[in-house]
């Protein structure tokens, strides 16, 4: 294919990615960019050209050995829920933006450790980035059938690298705060992950079903080839050991590769996205690997005896069949895999380079004096140049150093180097005793062994492949043979290097950590990292710091990096969170930590600490004191919680008291009103009696008939008086619990009839209609008949009072249920004032405007009814219905 | 012959009052609540009204207010006769324009004296 055309296609493709990144950046938090699938797919930045081309090379040369690199992450995933969530939380609260920040902060915010991690990452990743550029370049030349030009400036791949470098440096530095999310990059990477998988699967289907007749056909033909059997077994225990080491290697890499740390932790928006990732990402890897084997062995069959690089089978197979379209698709897939890796890696590396190396060791002093705008600009500029240089450096590295290495070998070396961060990294999260000295010495020892067992030999072999060094070892000590250190001769170079370097790394890390005391700051962060869940909501509280600091000084420092507005906003949020008076002058540990956090995203943890230290005066604290403070802060958290609970209880109690008081006041008022009514009610018959008696006493001429009438009045009124007194006493007895009910079996239909008969006179006087079916079937259960008669009489006489003469209708019905029985007394009089529906059953209740209107009855009847029904464990209530009002009560069949 | 209007919802009390004032040679009108009293007052202008306060429909307070608005009844003496015996009740009754306030239970003799006294003073 003409290289001009391909270049155009490439530019279009890059343009599309620009567009996607731009779009996602604008969409910000829309559900298209902020969802678990984008997150999971962005993790597939793990699959680089190594996967795309290299795996096929490995499968073609040595069978199954491409698998362990994917098994490690798959095995790691169940543990993700546990480990990753913890790391995400730690990183979120501390505003961590890279693995260098993470490790250095944990070990006492150590500037040196941050720089060390940065350097190691650079050593590991730069060649790896170079490897991607190499893949782009090589595949470009294969697709276009053009030779690689020895003149860098005439080689098209140079310009591809330049464009990439520009893209990454522009997009990777949109925010000064490195802990900000980069939606554009993440979405573009996720998109590329989809494309590279899609194109790879299309290729797989093409090779398996169009070039060959399915999996079986490939297998049949391949199994006839030389050394097929040997290549496709694990090769016994020794092979198994190799496998295990490779699995460990990739297990570490999925956490430790700076780009994986960046994608899975810094770019994580929601913890719950992990839940999708733990199934989607392994599935992704599985899909990617399904066709590796058929393509590799298909290539072996097709190119048997020809001298071609099996890494390039993916392109060579479609090309062999003159399928240009398929060739370009595969090329674009590989290109996607490469640029994702290059862009993300260069962004993270340049952040580390600026925040953990250049700023803390170089320009911090000058930043300290400048204003926010200049500082932000400078930081961004440093990063931008960093990214650009990184990619160019990687390009140079590829052009002049690694031209001849296979994709996988360079990648593997990267992995082994990065794995040296493993002990310090995992120790950071799970082991409180791990110390800065331990971490530094472990990493350095591991790196030295790495250098000796793998980097040095590889460099040497490219210069002088026949060097005696490989056979005789260092200075002729065979025990120091680089590939068989201490006589370990059955591991391949990579697993071998990993084994020894990790072993010594871990041992040194642990031994040094337990042998020397950690300083208080390390111990403090150890606590905050390992027990992150305890401090997640107020981690500033867990930070131990004693000394003198002025808020205004800290504010000044913050303004230099955050600007006036953001600083003030952040501080007011802080004061609100901890309930601090807005005008306080002295800063405490919480503000110191808070300020460090604010700066961390801009200039890294170590520089943040240095800056804050420069304006505060810290007192020395001993380790035991730190432990004591931490213990206290834990207790404080518990006490705080208890206090909050108690205060809530008190609030509850006081509101209950208020309510009780209000209801008492109301009761008191009702009681006064009741007394008024009762005395009025008592006085009325007495008045009548007194008047009649006086007439009888003073008047001798009174006619006999009239005399009799007056005497009769006296008798009636006396009875009335007596009944009233009975009612009051009745109520009093019920209320104080002295009145018992005596349930015996009765028939409620009969009881209602009994209640109605004494009222017949009243009913016919008022000429109203009372409806009750006396012939309905008997309902038998236990209740105090005398009392229930009292209730029904009361309800019906009330109903009679409230209905109008002649047009009045009263309907009594019974509704039987499984558990209880309901009696309804309806009348078509005017309804009850809705406000009074409940209170009419209160004993002191009189209608609100009773002051001026004569109450009907003593105001005791319904209160007594309620007492009686409640003594039966039933309920009584009133409700306004259409055309009238219904009083109902229930009686449980079993008391 | 002097006219008297008795307003009370208690029939037994009315009965005693009716007997008493008839014997005192009054022409007696009877109302069982304020409404009935006001109906009677449309046609009659009694010299004295004995007025209960707590009654259904229209109570004693509303009744006296209507009476006081009626120019034809300016000469008419009103005596409250109520079981409401608190200071504040009596004060309120007098403020509304009653000529006397007697609490229940009451002495018939004193009530008759009171009525006569009011009638003498008005003559």
Chain A CB contacts of B62 under 8 Å are: 852
Q: Which residues contact A105 (CB under 8 A, 6 or more apart)?
A: A94, A96, A525, A605
CB within 8 Å of chain A, chain B residues 30-49: none
Is residue A768 located within the same domain as residue A830? yes
Domain limits, chain B = 3-115
Strand partners, A868: none
Q: How many domains does chain A have?
A: 4
Structure tokens of A402? 């690694």
- For chain A, helix (H) and strand (E) counts, in that order, are 36, 9
Residue A676 CB neighbours (<10 A): 20
Residue A551 and residue A697 share a domain: no
Taking an 8 Å cut-off on Cβ atoms, the answer to whether B9 and A854 are in contact is yes
A508 with A442: CB under 8 angstroms?
yes
CATH code, domain with A778: 3.30.565.10
If we measure between CA atoms, which residue out of B36, B24, B38, B29 comes closest to residue B6? B29
Give domain status of residue A466, yes or no.
no
Mean pLDDT across the stretch A334-350? 86
- Confidence at A468, pLDDT banded by 50, 70, 90: low
Q: Is B23 on the interface with A (CB under 8 A)?
A: yes
Residue A713 shares a structural domain with residue A798: no
Would the CB atoms of A852 and B62 count as touching at under 8 Å? yes
The complex scores an ipTM of 0.93
Q: Do residues A17 and A191 touch, judged by C-beta distance below 8 A?
A: yes
Residue with the bigger pLDDT between A88 and A539: it is A88
Same-domain check for residues A707 and A844: no
User: Could you say which DSSP state residue A666 is in?
Assistant: H
Confidence at residue A1, expressed as pLDDT on a 0 to 100 scale: 66
Q: Are residues A326 and A250 in the same domain?
A: yes
Contact residues, A window 178-197, toward B, CB-based 8 Å cutoff: none
Query: Do the bridges between strand A769-771 and strand A744-747 make them parallel or antiparallel, or are there none, so unpaired?
Result: unpaired
Summarize pLDDT for A623-636 with one digit per residue, the tens: 677 667 666 666 66
B100 — pLDDT class (breaks 50, 70, 90): very high
Question: Is residue A385, in this structure, part of any structural domain at all?
Answer: yes
Gyration radius of chain A's alpha carbons: 45
CATH code at A351? 1.20.1730.10
Write out pLDDT tens, residues A90-136.
Answer: 888 888 888 998 999 888 888 899 999 999 998 888 888 888 888 88
Average pLDDT over residues A144-153: 71
d(CA A460, CA A442): 26
Q: Does residue B65 sit at the A interface (CB-CB below 8 Å)? A: no
Contact at CB, A690 and B106, closer than 8 angstroms: yes
- Report residue A855's pLDDT band, with 50, 70 and 90 as the boundaries: very low
Residue A518, pLDDT score: 77
User: What are the b/e assignments for A518-532, b being 16+ CB within 10 Å?
Assistant: bbbbbbbbbbbbbeb
Cβ count within 10 A of residue A325: 8
Q: Compute the distance between CA of residue B78 and CA of residue B90 in angstroms, rounded to an integer.
A: 13
For residue B115, give Cα distances in angstroms to A690, B12, B22, B43, B109: 19, 20, 13, 22, 10
Contact between residue A163 and residue A81 where contact means Cβ atoms under 8 Å apart: no
Q: Express each pLDDT in A49-85 by its tens digit.
A: 877 888 888 888 877 777 887 887 888 777 777 888 8
> At residue B78, does pLDDT exceed 90?
yes
Contact between residue A602 and residue A559 where contact means Cβ atoms under 8 Å apart? no
Domain termination site, one of A696, A720, A735: A735
Within this chain, do residues A10 and A51 fall inside the same structural domain, yes or no?
A: yes
Residues A825, A719 share a domain: no
E-state strands within A11-166:
none
Say if residue A597 is in the same domain as residue A666.
no
**A145 within some domain:** yes
Residues of B in contact with A689 (CB under 8 A): 105
Domain boundary among A361, A385, A420: A420
Distance CA A245, CA A494 (A): 9
| Secondary element (H or E) of residue A124 | helix A111-144
- The answer on A811 and A693 residing in a single domain is no
H, E, C per residue of A298-329: HHHHHCCCCCCCHHHHHHHHHHHCCCHHHHHH
Q: Domain boundary residue among A704, A735, A766?
A: A735
**What is the CA A568 to chain-centroid distance, rounded?**
28
- Nearest CA to A261 out of A99, A406, A33, A392 is that of A99
Confidence of residue A524 (pLDDT cuts 50, 70, 90): confident
Which pLDDT value is given to residue A848?
46
Q: A854 and B104 in contact by Cβ < 8 A?
A: no
Q: What is the pLDDT of residues A644-657, one digit of tens each?
A: 888 888 888 898 99
User: CB of A113 within 8 A of CB of A101?
Assistant: no
DSSP percent split of chain A into helix, strand, coil, nearest 5: 75, 5, 20
pLDDT tens figures, A491-513: 677 888 888 899 999 999 999 98
Tokens describing residue A647: 């205060």
Give me the helix-helix angle, A493-515 and A422-430, nearest 10°. Answer: 40
Same domain, A749 and A723: no
Residue of A688, A717, A829, A859 to mutate, interface with B, max B Cβ within 10 Å:
A688
Q: Is A36 found in the same domain as A133? A: yes
Residue A223 lies in a domain: yes
What is the DSSP code string of A559-572?
HHHHHHHHHHHHHH
- DSSP assignment of A759-792, as one string? GHHHHHHHT-EEE--TTSPP-EEEE-HHHHHHHH
Write down the pTM of the prediction: 0.62
What number is the average pLDDT over the span A851-863? Answer: 59
Residues of A in contact with B54 (CB under 8 A): 680, 852-855
Distance CA A282, CA A276 (A): 10
What pLDDT sits at residue A636? 67
pLDDT at A471: 60
In this predicted model, what pLDDT tens digit does every residue of A151-170 receive, in sequence order?
666 677 777 778 878 877 77
Longest dimension (CA), chain B: 35
Question: What distance in Å separates residue B87's CA from the closest CA in chain A?
Answer: 13
Kindly list the strands in the beta sheet with A876-881, ordered across the sheet, starting from the edge strand earlier in the chain.
A769-771, A809-816, A820-827, A884-892, A876-881
CB contact under 8 A, A691 and B13: yes
Q: Which fold has domain B3-115?
A: Rossmann fold (3.40.50)
How far away is chain A from the Cα of B44, in angstroms, using its nearest Cα? 25
Q: What percent of chain A has pLDDT over 90?
A: 13
> Is any Cβ of chain A less than 8 angstroms from the Cβ of B68?
no
Beta-bridged to residue B107, according to DSSP, are none
3-state secondary structure (DSSP) of residue A52 = helix
Inter-chain touch A692–B16, beta carbons under 8 Å: yes
Range of the domain at A862: 740-892
Stated as kind and residue range, the H or E segment containing A673 is helix A623-698
Q: Domain with A694 in it: what CATH number?
A: 1.10.287.130
**Nearest-by-Cβ selection for A688 from B10, B23, B107:** B10
CA–CA gap between residue A874 and residue A876 (Å, rounded): 7
Rounded Cα–Cα distance for residues A699 and A684 (Å):
22
The shortest C-alpha distance from B106 to chain A (Å) reads: 7
**Is residue A511 in some structural domain?**
no
pLDDT in tens, B38-69: 999 999 999 999 999 988 778 899 999 999 99
Nearest chain A residue to B84 by CA distance is: A680
Nearest to A608 by CA among A258, A364, A363: A364
Please indicate if any CB of chain B lies within 8 Å of the CB of A715.
Answer: no
Question: Distance (Å, rounded) from C-alpha A71 to C-alpha A59?
Answer: 15
Q: Confidence class of residue A850 from pLDDT cuts 50, 70 and 90?
A: very low
* pLDDT over 70 percentage in chain A: 88
Q: Give domain status of residue A451, yes or no.
A: no
- Asked if residue A457 belongs to a domain, the reply is no
Which residues are within 8 A (CB) of A158 and not within 5 positions of it... i.e. 6 or more apart? A152, A395
B56 interface with A at CB cutoff 8 Å: yes
């Amino acid at each position: 294919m003409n290289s001009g055309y391909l270049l155009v296609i490439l530019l279009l493709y890059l343009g599309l990615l620009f567009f996607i990144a731009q779009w996602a950046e604008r969409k910000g938090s829309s559900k298209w960019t902020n969802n678990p699938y984008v997150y999971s797919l962005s993790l597939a930045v793990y699959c680089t050209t190594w996967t795309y081309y290299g795996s096929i090379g490995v499968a073609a040369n040595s069978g199954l050995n491409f698998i362990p690199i994917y098994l490690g992450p798959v095995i790691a995933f169940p543990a993700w829920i546990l480990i990753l969530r913890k790391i995400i939380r730690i990183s979120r609260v501390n505003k961590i933006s890279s693995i260098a920040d993470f490790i250095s902060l944990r070990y006492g915010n150590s500037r040196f450790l941050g720089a060390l991690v940065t350097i190691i990452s650079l050593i590991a990743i730069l060649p790896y980035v170079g490897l991607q550029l190499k893949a782009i370049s090589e595949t470009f030349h294969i697709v276009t059938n053009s030779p690689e030009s020895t003149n860098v400036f005439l080689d098209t791949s140079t310009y591809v690298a330049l464009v990439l470098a520009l893209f990454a440096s522009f997009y990777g530095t949109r925010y000064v705060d490195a802990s900000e999310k980069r939606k554009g990059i993440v979405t573009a990477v996720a998109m590329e992950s989809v494309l590279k998988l899609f194109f790879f699967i299309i290729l797989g289907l093409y090779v398996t079903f169009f070039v060959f007749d399915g999996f079986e056909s490939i297998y049949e033909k391949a199994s006839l080839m030389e050394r097929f059997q040997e290549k496709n077994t694990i090769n016994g225990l020794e092979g198994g050991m190799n496998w295990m080491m490779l699995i460990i290697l990739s297990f570490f890499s999925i956490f430790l590769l700076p780009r994986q740390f960046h994608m899975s932790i810094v770019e994580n928006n929601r913890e719950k996205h992990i839940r999708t990732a733990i199934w989607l990402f392994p599935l992704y890897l599985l899909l990617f690997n399904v066709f590796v084997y058929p393509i590799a062995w298909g290539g072996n069959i097709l190119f048997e005896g020809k001298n071609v690089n099996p890494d390039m089978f993916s392109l060579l197979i479609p090309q062999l069949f003159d399928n240009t379209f398929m060739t370009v698709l595969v090329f674009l897939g590989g290109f996607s895999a490469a640029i994702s890796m290059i862009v993300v890696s260069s962004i993270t590396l340049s952040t580390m380079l600026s925040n953990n190396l250049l700023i803390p060791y170089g320009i911090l002093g000058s930043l300290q004096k400048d204003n926010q705008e200049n500082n932000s600009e400078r930081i961004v500029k440093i990063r931008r140049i960093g990214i650009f240089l990184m990619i160019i450096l990687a390009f140079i590295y590829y052009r002049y150093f690694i031209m001849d290495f296979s994709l996988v070998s360079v990648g593997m070396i990267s992995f082994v180097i990065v794995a040296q961060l493993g002990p310090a990294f995992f120790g950071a999260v799970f082991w409180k005793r791990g110390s800065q000295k331990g971490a530094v010495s472990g990493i350095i020892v591991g790196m030295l062994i790495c250098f000796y067992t793998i980097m040095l030999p590889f460099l040497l072999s490219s210069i002088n492949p026949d060097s005696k060094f490989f056979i005789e070892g260092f200075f002729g000590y065979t025990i120091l043979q680089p590939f068989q250190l201490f006589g370990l001769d059955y591991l391949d170079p990579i697993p071998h290097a990993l084994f020894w370097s990790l072993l010594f790394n871990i041992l040194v890390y642990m031994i040094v950590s337990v042998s020397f005391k950690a300083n208080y700051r390390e111990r403090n962060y150890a606590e905050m990292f390992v027990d992150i869940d305890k401090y997640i909501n107020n981690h500033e509280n867990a930070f131990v710091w004693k000394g003198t600091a002025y808020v205004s000084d800290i504010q000044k420092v913050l303004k230099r990096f955050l600007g006036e507005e953001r600083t003030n906003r952040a501080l007011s949020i802080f004061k609100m969170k901890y309930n601090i008076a807005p005008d306080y002058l002295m800063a405490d540990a919480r503000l110191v930590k808070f300020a460090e956090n604010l700066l961390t995203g801009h200039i890294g943890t170590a520089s943040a600490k240095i800056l804050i230290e420069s304006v505060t005066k810290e007192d020395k604290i001993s380790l035991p004191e730190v432990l004591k403070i931490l213990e206290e802060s834990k207790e404080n958290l518990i006490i705080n919680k208890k206090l909050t609970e108690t205060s809530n209880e008190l609030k509850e109690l006081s509101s209950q008291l208020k309510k009780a008081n209000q209801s008492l006041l109301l009761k008191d008022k009702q009681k006064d009103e009741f007394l008024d009514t009762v005395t009025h009610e008592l006085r009325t018959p007495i008045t009548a009696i007194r008047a009649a008696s006086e007439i009888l006493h003073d008047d001798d001429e009174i006619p006999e008939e009239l005399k009799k009438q007056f005497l009769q009045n006296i008798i009636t009124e006396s009875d009335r008086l007596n009944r009233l007194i009975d009612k009051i006493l009745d109520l009093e007895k019920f209320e104080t619990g002295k009145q018992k009910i005596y349930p015996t079996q009765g028939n409620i239909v009969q009881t209602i009839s009994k209640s109605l008969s004494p009222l017949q006179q009243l009913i016919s006087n008022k000429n109203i209609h009372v409806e009750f079916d006396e012939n309905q079937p008997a309902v038998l259960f236990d209740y105090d008949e005398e009392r229930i008669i009292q209730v029904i009489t009361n309800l019906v006489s009330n109903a009679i009072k409230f209905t109008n003469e002649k047009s009045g209708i009263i309907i009594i019905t019974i509704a039987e249920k499984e558990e209880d029985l309901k009696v309804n007394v309806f009348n078509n009089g005017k309804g009850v004032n809705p406000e009074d529906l409940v209170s009419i059953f209160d004993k002191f209740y009189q209608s609100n405007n009773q002051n001026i209107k004569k109450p009907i009855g003593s105001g005791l009847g319904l209160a007594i009814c309620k007492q009686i029904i409640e003594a039966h464990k039933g309920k009584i209530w009133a409700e306004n219905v259409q055309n009238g009002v219904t009083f109902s009560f229930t009686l449980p069949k079993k008391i | 012959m002097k006219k008297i209007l008795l307003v009370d919802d208690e029939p037994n009390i009315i009965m005693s009052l009716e007997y008493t004032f008839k014997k005192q040679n009054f022409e007696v009108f009877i109302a069982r609540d304020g409404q009935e009293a006001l109906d009677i007052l449309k046609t009659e202008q009694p010299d004295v009204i004995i007025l209960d306060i707590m009654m259904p429909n229209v109570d004693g307070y509303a009744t006296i207010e209507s009476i006081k608005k009626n120019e034809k009844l300016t000469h008419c003496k009103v005596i409250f006769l109520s079981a409401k015996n608190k200071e504040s009740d009596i004060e309120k009754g007098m403020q509304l324009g009653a000529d006397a306030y007697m609490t229940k239970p009451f002495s018939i003799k004193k009530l008759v004296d009171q009525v006569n006294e009011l009638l003498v003073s008005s003559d």
